Amino acid sequence: MSTGICLITGASKGVGRGIAYGMAREGWDVAINYYSDLEGAEETAAEIEKLGQRGLPVPGDVSNRSDVEAMFAKVVEEFGRLDCLVNNAGRQTFAPLIELKEEDWDKTIATNLKGSFLCTQAAARLMKDQDGSASIINIGSGANKQPFMNLIDYCASKGGLEQLTRVSACELGQYGIRVNCVAPGAIEIERTREESDDYAGTWSPLTPMGRIGYPEDIANMVAFLASEKGEFTTGQTVYVDGGLWTKTHWPYSVD
């Protein structure tokens, strides 16, 4: 099955929204998870409807098991099945290791890593009993392998996501469920524009392909991995970064 029903966490804005649009353009109906941004989720759903597909806002805190169970139950109630899960919801805290608050560490690990685990587990329990293949795609980062100063909570969560991807792929392959990770490079979205007065000017010179990335770049890879064209690819991390994380000497750090 190259199209079907896709659930994307954290899809009310940013990369998640871009992935939702990309999947809709490929013929997928999309469940749009959000935590607090109902307006953003409804805007995403409205644009998906314009693309001729169904968009369904679904609330839920991915770090809360009860919320996750209710979210997946809603998807099944409305669509009858689930063919693709994209674990995109995430957060980060800019702080030095010795100053990072325990509660911020806990929130980041809970959202980025525990949330991906809970959603993967819930999805796999549905997908294993369905006909046809299915796909789970985790949204990683250069932090999967690169140390970012003052982002230790984020780096720890994304490093864990790398192994969650690999182990999940090995365990779930027997059910026809593929699990991969897409790791973006410097992607311009609402949040990253706030990090720099000239985001493109900062990151384009550091990227071998000479430009920053956009949500549609990530969406294109997600759609490929979710489709029949990616049916023999699992356990992989694909860096969609214009070559940024391929560099052996990486000059950037967060001050």
List residues bridging with 56 in a β-sheet: 31
Marked catalytic residue, from 34, 35, 154, 239: 154
Angle, CA 182 vertex, CA 176 and CA 185 arms, to 5°: 175
How far from the centroid of its chain's Cα atoms is residue 201's Cα?
25
List residues bridging with 86 in a β-sheet: 8, 137
151 three-state secondary structure:
strand
**Is 252 labeled as catalytic in the residue annotation?**
no
Helices (H), the chain: 14-25, 38-50, 65-79, 102-109, 115-127, 152-172, 190-195, 199-203, 215-226
Residues carrying an active site annotation: 154
